[in-house]
Amino acid sequence: MDFNNLLIQTHWSDFESYGEIIRDPDISIANKAKRYFDTIVLVCGDTPENRVVRKYAEEMGVECFQGDLWDVSKRFNACMKKYGMIYAARILNYHFMVDCAFLVKCLEILRSEKRDYLVLPRNFDMKFAGDIFSLSFLNKAEALSTRECPEKAFTSRSLSFCPWAAVDLFPEFFQLSCLESVPVYGLEKFKAIRDVVNRYYPERARLNDMPAYKVALSLLESNRGIVADIACGHGDGAAKLSRFNELVFGIDYSRKQILENQRRFSEVNNLIFFSGDASDVKILQENSLDAVVSIHSMEHFRDDVRFLTNCSKWLKKGGQMVLEVPLSMKYPFTDIGRPLGDKHIREYEIKQLYAKCESYFKIENIFGVSRGNYIAPEKARNAVMLLLRKKI
């Protein structure tokens, strides 16, 4: 008989970005999960920096497995074989809101149906659950790791790095179970989780958005153009854009962040960072840009219509915009109507987003975002990316 197994994927950098969540015993998912799971393993790459993970596992009284540094599929495969697992749930270490009782129920369903993977509804926020899969799923995903990405999709991560993305890219190769019934929570739970998110969650952990910039570069026509990266954050995305363009402006509301970016990227001559509010059209000249890149920034503007208007004004005739925003998840909070953190003014439904953009832009392409892969919009898990062109 297989037991209820939980694999918690983690990395030493999680303890820098989310340390308070991970270490607080009242919040820590590793601690809370002990009531529900027979075996809990922290899974990380085999590198000296991850000694912090091993020490933490000892403190929590759970297992730790260090495996292949770059091939996550092989790492989890070896972990499951070591502990004799046939089925397991996989979550991230900083997803404190995971519903452990629901995960156990999901494992029971997959075991009873003897399938490879349990697919949850696309409009359910996966931060409250995780990947429910079998060892056979990992074996099949590994075999697919060298296969070319399907047409009309962009993959920013190989399947060896994120094997669970195979469900979105190659569903026909797996025996899938689909679960339609998911938990629904009330206002009190929403407030409690929102409070923790507001206190501890960084808005943009460094490098989290890099897959989006890789795809943006693939979509934009302008080579050696003039580009603005709106709400550039830590600046790594703007730096990537600068390698392929004549001039890049990295703009962020945080003056402290801009000063740090100017220090880090001082030797990049075609990259200019400055502090500004994109609600103010005067921060850039009208008709001056070949492209605007906005990765998870529009949801922060109180007046998102003004933001879109400004972007249209800054662009030259026929200029392009790459816009990525978070999607509003219907579940597990069906009647709340607010994002799960104060930093987002709103999150979007696809039809609503279309309507706002079409007043100023022609929509040339749209991708759903799931695990760093850019796929059909109906398969989106957490965000959507639009390629827009300024209307003449």
Q: What is the DSSP string of 213-238?
A: HHHHHHH---SS-EEEEET-TTSHHH
Prediction pTM value: 0.90
User: Strands across the sheet with 131-134, in order?
Assistant: 63-67, 39-45, 5-9, 87-92, 131-134, 117-119, 176-178
Concatenated DSSP letters of 314-349: HEEEEEEEEEEEEBPP-BS-SS--S-SSTT-S--B-
pLDDT at 203: 65
The tens-digit pLDDT sequence of the chain (392 residues) is 578 999 999 999 999 989 999 999 999 999 999 999 999 999 999 999 999 999 999 999 999 999 999 999 999 999 999 999 999 999 999 999 999 999 999 999 999 999 999 999 999 999 999 999 999 999 999 999 888 877 666 776 678 889 999 999 999 999 999 999 999 999 999 999 999 998 888 765 555 668 899 999 999 986 679 999 999 999 999 999 999 999 999 999 999 999 999 999 999 999 999 999 999 999 999 999 999 999 999 999 999 999 999 999 999 999 999 999 999 988 999 888 888 888 899 999 999 999 999 999 999 999 999 988 899 999 999 899 999 999 87
Domains plus CATH for the chain? Answer: 5-183 (3.90.550.10), 210-390 (3.40.50.150)
Can you give the pLDDT at residue 213?
Answer: 92
The letter for the amino acid at 361 is F
- For residue 20, what are the contacts with CB-CB under 8 A and spacing of at least 6? 27, 199, 200
Torsional sign, CA 7, 123, 347, 334: negative
| Helix or strand (DSSP H, E) at 64 | strand 63-67
- Residue 191 burial class via C-beta count within 10 angstroms: exposed 0-12, middle 13-18, buried 19 and up: exposed
User: What confidence score (pLDDT) does residue 209 get?
Assistant: 67
